[in-house]
Amino acid sequence: MSHDDFAFEPVKGLPERPPEHEHILWQGRPNTWALAQEAYKVNWITAYFVVIVGWRASVGALESGAAGAFAYGLPYTILWALGMVVLLAMAWVQARSTVYTITTARVAMRIGAALTVTLNLPFRQIANADLRLRKNGVGTIALETLGETKFSYLILWPHLRPGHVRVTKPALRCIPDAARVAGILAEAAEARISQPTLERKQPQTAPQGDLVAAE
């Protein structure tokens, strides 16, 4: 019998049901292999082990020929294989536990494998969105927020803009078809921000409040 770790969510990826006027436009999660490459650096680790295995194998070959090369290089090859299994498993768990959501009013990020949190970013708090796109269409959309809002690097990782430690920026990391998703985000944000909001102004003399349109 299958078990859903997030069955308590009223709506997938959201901690509560959105208001009636808010609609989900897109949901997705990171691509496991791309996340393993970018966040867990499997390519760099593989290159490191290639050098180590080549060096140890050459030492063994000088001492005992092909048998020595095999004996010297095999332990490090096994160590590399075990490391790759662990890193790919971690990337898979991170991707599986993540749900990115774009609605007509906000970006929501349900993140965290061990400690799950949901980050809500209304469009009116997003100053800019930056797209980094790969040739295969997988990309990362980093979000720059307004004001003095600060995000914990440890809580957000790996769902953040790479290379920005001092000023942490949340990001939709390694998502497939990222250009299309960026278009959905841009259109939704533009439509939302262009709508006036209604604020209740409390007059000093009148007994009833007036509704005033505010941009």
Which pLDDT belongs to residue 202?
Answer: 55
CB 12 within 8 Å of CB 28: no
Which pLDDT belongs to residue 209?
Answer: 47
Interatomic CA distance for residues 209 and 193, integer angstroms: 25
Which pLDDT belongs to residue 55?
Answer: 95
Which pLDDT belongs to residue 3?
Answer: 42
Which pLDDT belongs to residue 1?
Answer: 41
* pTM of structure: 0.81
Which pLDDT belongs to residue 114?
Answer: 78
Interatomic CA distance for residues 22 and 181, integer angstroms: 18
Question: What is the gyration radius of the CA atoms in the chain, in angstroms?
Answer: 24
CA dist 77 to 47, 53, 91, 136, 192, Å?
12, 7, 21, 29, 53
Interatomic CA distance for residues 113 and 115, integer angstroms: 6
Interatomic CA distance for residues 10 and 161, integer angstroms: 29
- Tokens found for residue 93: 């768990």
Residues of the chain with pLDDT below 50 are 1-4, 6, 206-215
Interatomic CA distance for residues 134 and 116, integer angstroms: 28
Write a three-state SS string for the chain.
CCCCCCCCCCECCECCCCCCCCCEEEEECCCHHHHHHHCCCHHHHHHHHHHHHHHHHHHHHHHHHHHHHHHHHHHHHHHHHHHHHHHHHHHHHHHHCCEEEEECCEEEEEECCCCCEEEEEEHHHEEEEEEEECCCCCEEEEEEECCCCCCCHHHHCCCECCCCCCCCCEEEEEECCHHHHHHHHHHHHHHHHCCCEEEEECCCCCCCCEEEEEC
Which pLDDT belongs to residue 204?
Answer: 55
Which pLDDT belongs to residue 212?
Answer: 41
Other C-beta atoms lying within 10 Å of the C-beta of residue 38: 21
CATH number of this structure's domain 24-31+100-194, picked from the four choices 2.30.30, 1.10.1220, 2.30.29, 1.10.520: 2.30.29
Tokens 């299994």, located at residue: 85
Which pLDDT belongs to residue 203?
Answer: 53
